Amino acid sequence: MEADRLLYEVEFKAFRRQYCENPFSLDLYKDQWVIVEAERGEDMGFIHQPINRDLEPKEKLKGILRVATYEDQEKLHKNREMEADSMICCQEMIDKHHLDMKLVDVEYQFDCNKLTFYFTADQRVDFRALVKDLAATYHTRIELRQIGVRDEARRLGGFGVCGLQQCCNSFIRNFEPISTQLARDQNLSLNPAKISGNCGRLLCCLAYEHKHYIQAVARFPDVGSAYQGEPGRGVVEAINVFHQFMVVRYEDGTREKISLLEYGRHQRKGRTSSEKSVGEKE
C-alpha cells in the first residue's frame, strides 16, 4: 500500500462523490468548481474537501484537469435545464412501454457524452426498448442505472427527523446494514415511523451510539434478573443509560431507582459479605 497522498474529494450532482488526484499541481481549495476526468470525457464538480488517504497498489483515480471557468458554469446550468426536459421525456417513454419502474433523476455528464437515468424498481426491468428510444432521441451514450431507496433519498436530498441534513448527504460514503436489534439494544420504540428515515429504511444513526449503549448497559445487571435490595427480593425492570440508573421492582410492588454508583457499592458489599462467610466456615 502506498503512503498517504493528498487527494481531493470532488462532489457532483446529487451528492455523488469521488476521490481525484491533482496531477497538474493546481492551486485548489474547498468549494472550488473544477473539471475532472471522466469515462470517455470530462465531468464537473466542486471540491468537497482535501484529504490524506492511503492508496491500494492497483487503485486508479481520475485527475482534476483544470479550474472551472464562468463559461463552464453556464454550460452546467444549461445541462441542468436539459436534465429537467429529459426527465419529462423519459417518463413519457416509460409510460408508453408500460414499464414498472420509478424514474428518480437524470444526470448529464458535463460534456454531454453520457446521459444517465436513475430509477428504482421492485424487480428487474427489461428496458432495452426504452434505451433504444432514448438513444435515438438524444444521440449520446445512454445509461439506465437501478438504485435502491437509500440511494434515492441521497440523490433527492432532504433533512432528517433531527432537523439536520441527511447523513447520506453529508458524510456517509457507504451504507452499512442496519437492524432492529440496534433499536432494541438502545431501548427505543420499534414504531417504524419513529426509527425510519426519509428512505423508509431504518435510520443510519441507530448505529452511531450502539457501541456506547452496549458498554454502558454491560455495567448493570440484565433486565429481568433478580436483585436483592434492602426492601427484599426484586427484579431489574429497566435501565436508564443517560442518567445511569436502573429501576428495581420489589415483591411488594414498590419500585426503587438505584444509581450506577449505588449498584457498585451494593456489589462490593455483597462480595465482602461472601468473603467473610467463607472465612468463618474455614
pLDDT tens string 125-146: 999 999 999 999 999 999 999 9
Can you tell me the mean pLDDT for 218-241? 91
Which residues in 48-58 are b (16+ Cβ under 10 Å) and which e?
beeeeeebeee
- Predicted pLDDT of residue 271: 63
Question: pTM surpassing 0.85?
Answer: no
Q: Do 128 and 168 belong to one domain?
A: no
In this structure, are residues 35 and 43 in contact, taking their beta carbons and an 8 Å threshold? Answer: yes
Task: List the CATH number of the domain containing 251.
Answer: 2.30.30
What's the pLDDT band for 270 if we cut at 50, 70, 90? Answer: low
In this structure, are residues 134 and 115 in contact, taking their beta carbons and an 8 Å threshold? Answer: yes
Q: Do 79 and 134 belong to one domain?
A: yes
Cα–Cα distance, 282 to 188 (Å, whole number) = 49
Task: List the CATH number of the domain containing 127.
Answer: 3.30.300
Mind listing the pLDDT tens digit for each residue in 38-79? Answer: 988 999 999 999 999 877 767 789 999 999 999 999 999 999
Cα–Cα distance, 124 to 106 (Å, whole number) = 19
- Predicted pLDDT of residue 44: 98
Cα–Cα distance, 137 to 49 (Å, whole number) = 38
In this structure, are residues 167 and 157 in contact, taking their beta carbons and an 8 Å threshold? Answer: no
Domain hosting residue 253, numbered range? 219-281
Q: Do 28 and 45 belong to one domain?
A: yes
Last residue of a domain, one of 68, 87, 118: 68
Q: Do 132 and 197 belong to one domain?
A: no
What's the pLDDT band for 245 if we cut at 50, 70, 90? Answer: very high
Can you tell me the mean pLDDT for 106-115? 98
Cell digits of residue 127? 428496458
Mean pLDDT of the chain: 91
- Predicted pLDDT of residue 278: 47
Last residue of a domain, one of 52, 68, 84: 68
Mind listing the pLDDT tens digit for each residue in 12-44? Answer: 999 999 999 999 999 999 999 999 999 889 999
| Cα separations in angstroms, 135 against 25, 93, 112, 117, 229 | 38, 12, 13, 12, 77
Domain count, the chain: 4
Q: Do 81 and 120 belong to one domain?
A: yes
In this structure, are residues 92 and 117 in contact, taking their beta carbons and an 8 Å threshold? Answer: no
- Predicted pLDDT of residue 39: 87
- Predicted pLDDT of residue 267: 80
Cell digits of residue 70? 464562468
Cα–Cα distance, 169 to 155 (Å, whole number) = 8
